[in-house]
Structure 1
Amino acid sequence: MTPPARRPTSSDVAARAGVSRATVSMVLNGRVEGTVAPATRERVLRAAAELDYTRSSIALSLRDRRTRTIGLITDEISTSPWAGRMIRAAAQEAAAQDYLVLTVDLSLRDADVAAAMRGLAARQVEGFVYAEMGHARKDLPPVPQGLPLVMLNGEQLHDGDGVAEVALAVVPDDRGGAVRATRRLLDVGHRRIVMLSSGDAAVATVEREAGYRAAMEEAGLSPEVVRAGWQMSDGLRETRRLLARAEPPTAVLCIRDRVAAGAIHAAALAGVDVPRELSVIGYDDEDFFAEELTPPLTTIALPHEEMGALAMRALLTLLEDGNAGEDGGAGPTVPRVEVVPCPLVERGTVAAAPEPA
């Protein structure tokens, strides 16, 4: 049997680059300012690449007393085709900074948040990201060992004893997105704009309705919110009722892309052209769905990728700054809530308001 090939060592890199092992260590650990010439640094990096040399994570953790591991707890995001972008972006951000992510999906096992935190803390994670499927406000339990915690797509309801201390919460600007969508319809002449909402008290519902109402009132118009639901059938049912009016709306803003799809279907059944006679805007920009409708749906996108990367980047900044200093300081000050804008995605369901008959 052929013995396995020997892994290259820092001594091999030093020999190929013609430098000392100390120089290799300084270059690969980024401590070269004022100590290693640029040409020498490039020679070391080239030698390491040619030898396919990688530093041992075990050796690094023993030296630094760190694991460079993050615990990520989710509800049902891993089963979602579009919210999963948050998790992918967070993991990519961690990998780019040489961190490993351990994920616990609460929908796939009999575990609660506290148990998940304890299990991950026992595996010596350095911090936590807790990610919600949809924009939520809830209380999380205290974090084991006082480890830093960032919430993704969620906010802590209360501060104080008995709940987690959250370093940062990253959430979408649901209200601002609805304002943006409504203004888009107003800008092309629509005045009879109805919002098809969900009828529940979810954070997204409350915030999106508030944005719609604010934009309509700013334009001197009376808002009209119809309690529909979250599904295509809800949009179909309520839009058919709206189109049966003597003076139907010329535009609808929908709480979700699937409701918007129902509105488009209702218009087709009624012989109403979208967008020439009825403009439709959705919300979420759901993957493999919004762009596949006929016509393709103009919608407000949830910035899942940006949110995931931002949340992980904030946590890693806290960890790196906290481990870099030796003055006992409290570390960087970060905002408690970071609100990420929701952009308008223009496709084919918005047109100028039709001329009065």
Structure 2
Amino acid sequence: MPPQRATLLQVAQRAGVSRSTASFVLAGRHVDMRISEDARQRVLRAAQELDYRPNLMARSLRTKVTKTIALVSDTLASDPYAGRAIHGGLAAAVAHGHLLFIGETEGDAVVEEKLISDFLDRQVDAFVYASMFTRYVRVPKLLKGHPVVLLNCLTRAARPAYHSVIPDELAAGWSAAKVVIDGGHRDGIHLVGNPAQHVFAGRERLAGIREAFTAAGIKLAGTIECDWWPDSAYEAVTRALAGGPPPKALICFNDRVALGVYQALREAGLSIPGDVSVVSFDDSDLAAWLRPQLTSISLPHYQLGWQAVELLLGEAGRSEPAIRRIPMPVRSRGSTGKP
């Protein structure tokens, strides 16, 4: 059997003070309760000798505050790359003296309802509602009336009821275009991917790219359409190279697309960046593994997680609910150069 944990009464008896005095000392209220320094030291010494730890369950029943928050996601937690958002959220929770519970639904509404109900039964103080891909969501009815911050998702409401933390994909598109423009490219610039309007990231990235090129007086040469996956990109770029002059710069909608692009260009005998510059989005581990290493616009997963929890627990969260866009920095590497 595990050893019985010391009680507050035992600490008080060893220190020679009342139970309430011991409670005030351990809660840091010795000054306002005018407890002598000698008594404070005796209580602290007794607590250390007895290895006293407060009963958090009993405290939460008294205060209605459990110092816990829950993150409910679809598949965010199990993705090794996007899981950095979990690390950011954990770090922010620890900084505020809270525990972070994590639950994953895999997009199953029944599982989601059960998870949220279980967290509510455990009296968690607040929720982060998260999505693997940036998208519009409906906040579950069970969360109404509870503190909630949306992570990597947002609602369609004209006046947001919750803070939302999302990557600034619009500015990222502008940044990708600027990498190409600042490299001296004016023509032969193609997009690679399928900028479908129903994909939030694709739509925002495309809008940012077009804005930057329009501002610079540059016209895109075209779009090589493919799925956001290496084999689809490889096949699409291979066909494009066989049917016309090679491009001078390719902007890929993500790093997996860029992997397929690299393979197609190599097979066609074209060098990167000597013949063709390549820039991408996400800055996954793949970007650093490719040779030459891939210039990519980074998804700030850690910062997203940190900011979501900070809005739940910090002063900033008391402001009017709004959409907060987290900057996506450019990671310049060896895949871009002058034409």
TM > 0.5 fold call: yes
Q: Check whether the contact 1:297–1:347 (CA below 8 A) recurs between aligned residues.
A: yes
Aligned residues: percent identity?
33
* Local SS of the residue matching 2:129: strand
Matched position secondary structure for 1:136: strand
The TM-score normalised by the length of structure 1 is 0.80
Structure 1 partner of 2:141: 142
- Tell me what 2:227 maps to: 229
Give the alignment partner of residue 173 of structure 1, picking from 158, 168, 177: 168
Match for residue 248 of structure 2?
A: 250
Q: Deviations over 1:290-314 (max 9, x none)?
A: 2111222111111110010100111
Deviations 1:235-256 (A, max 9, x none): 2122223434543221111111
- Show CA shifts across 1:13-59 (max 9, x none): 9978x99987875665455788899x99x979996778765433123
Seen in structure 2, the aligned counterparts of structure 1 residues 307 and 29 have a Cα distance that, compared at 3 Å, is: farther
Task: Give the TM-score normalised by the residue count of structure 2.
Answer: 0.84
Q: How does 1:1-357 map to 2 (within 5 A)?
A: 4=3, 7=6, 12=11, 29=27, 53-107=52-106, 111=110, 113-144=112-143, 146-158=145-157, 166-191=161-186, 192-200=188-196, 201-223=198-220, 224-244=222-242, 246-287=244-285, 289-317=286-314, 332-353=318-339
Number of equivalenced pairs: 333
Q: What letter matches 1:265 in structure 2?
A: Q
> By how many angstroms is 1:286 displaced?
1.5
CA distance 1:117–1:5, shift in 2 (3 Å): closer
Query: What CA distance in whole angstroms lies between the structure 2 residues aligned with 1:43 and 1:186?
Result: 67
Which structure 1 segments of 5+ residues have no match?
322-330
Structure 2 Cα separation of the partners of residues 245 and 43 of structure 1 = 83
The alignment partner of 2:110 has SS state of coil
Provide the residue aligned with 1:325 in structure 2: none
Provide the aligned C-alpha RMSD in A: 3.4
Output the amino acid matched with 1:286. S
Change (3 A) 1:343 1:36: farther
Distance change >3 Å, CA 63–CA 263, structure 1 → 2: same
Write the distance in 1 (CA, Å) between the matches of 2:338 and 2:261. Answer: 18
Q: What is the SS of the residue equivalent to 1:111?
A: helix
Q: Could you say what secondary structure the match of 1:186 adopts?
A: helix
Q: Say if 1:195 and 1:212, in contact at 8 Å, map to a contact too.
A: no
* d(CA) in 1 for partners of 2:21, 2:240: 74
Alpha-carbon offset, residue 273 of structure 1: 0.8
Unpaired stretches in structure 2, ≥5 consecutive residues? none
Alpha-carbon separation, structure 1, partners of 2:49 and 2:194: 58
Query: 2:149 is aligned with what amino acid?
Result: V
